[in-house]
Amino acid sequence: MNRKDGRAPDELRKVRITLDYIKHAEGSCLIEFGDTKVICTASIEEKVPPFLRGTGQGWITAEYSMLPRATAQRTVREAAKGKLTGRTQEIQRLIGRSLRSAVDLTFLGETTVWIDCDVIQADGGTRTASITGAFVALYRALQKVEKLNAIKSFVAAVSVGIVDGEFLLDLNYEEDSVAEVDMNIVMNDKNEFVEIQGTAEGKAFNRSELNRLLDLGEKGIKELIEIQRKTLGVEE
C-alpha cells in the first residue's frame, strides 16, 4: 500500500542538500526532506565553556528554532515569549548529543562548534532533518579549519512510526500527527545506534513491533548517509 504522497512505506521523501548556503558561516547547508526545509550552520569559536577550560578539549553545542510561519498556523516566537519551549530544548539537546557522538572532541582543541538549525518550512521530521543537515555543516566547518581528523563517523537521523497499523519510514506532518508510535533514530555509518527515542502516542508497542521499526530506520539512515557523502564528495 502506498502513502498519500505516493511513497512506498519504506521510502524516504526527496532529500536535497544545498551546500555552503550561508556565506558567513564556516560550514552551512540548506537541507530539505520533502517540504521540510532547515538551514544548518556550523560556527567555530576559539573558546570553550567553563567546564572545559584548560582541558585542551573542544565542545559542540546546538540550537534549534522554527520561523514563526514555518508551520501551518503561525507560532509565537520564543524570543517574544522570552523563553524556550520544552520541545525546543529537547531537540537542541538531542542534536548536540548526536553530533558529539561523531567527533573526537580532544582533536578539536579548545574550540566550540556552534550548530544552528533554523527550520524555515516544516512538514514533519524537522529534528531528523536538522541532525542530518547539521552533520554536513559540521563536516564542512571542520574541513575549513583543517580538523577533519576529529570526525569519527558520519551520523544521520530519520523518523519511523506506525500509522493505522502500517510501518512507515520518514513521516511527514500529516502522518506524524496521527501516528500510534513515533520513533526517532540516530545512527552512524557503522550501523550502530547513537540515539533511540520511541514514544507510544496512542498504543504501546511490543518487542517485535520495535524490531520492525528499527529495520526501517536502518534502511533510511543508510540512504541518508549516502546522500551526505555525495554532497560532501567523500567516498566510503
Residues that bind a copy of itself (CB under 8 A): 22-25, 28, 35, 39, 41, 43, 45, 63, 65, 67-72, 74, 77-80, 82-90, 92-93, 97, 101, 114, 116, 118, 120-121, 153, 183, 187-188, 190-200, 204-207, 210, 214
Residue closer to a copy of itself, measured from CB, 40 or 168: 40
Helix (H, G, I), strand (E, B) or coil at 95: helix
List the grid coordinates of 150.
576529529
How far does the chain reach from its first CA to its final CA, in angstroms? 34
Binding-site positions: 87, 125-127
Q: How far is the CB of 2 from a copy of itself (least distance, A)?
A: 22
Residue closer to a copy of itself, measured from CB, 81 or 230: 81
How many C-beta neighbours within 10 Å does residue 49 have?
9
- 126-144 and 207-232 helices, crossing angle to 10°: 40
* Cα–Cα nearest to 9, from 227, 224, 222, 215: 215
Q: Are 49 and 112 in contact (CB under 8 A)?
A: yes
CA 15 from centroid of its chain's CA atoms: 13
Binding-site positions for phosphate: 87, 125-127
Any bridge partners for residue 163, and if so which?
Answer: 166
**Distance of alpha carbon 108 from alpha carbon 103, whole angstroms:** 9
Residue closer to a copy of itself, measured from CB, 26 or 170: 26
Any bridge partners for residue 155, and if so which?
Answer: 188
Residue closer to a copy of itself, measured from CB, 82 or 233: 82
Q: How far is the CB of 104 from a copy of itself (least distance, A)?
A: 11
Q: How far is the CB of 233 from a copy of itself (least distance, A)?
A: 23
List the grid coordinates of 205.
508497542
Q: How far is the CB of 95 from a copy of itself (least distance, A)?
A: 12
Is 127 exposed, middle or buried (CB count within 10 Å of its CB: 0-12, 13-18, 19+)? buried
Q: How far is the CB of 196 from a copy of itself (least distance, A)?
A: 4
Residue closer to a copy of itself, measured from CB, 11 or 197: 197
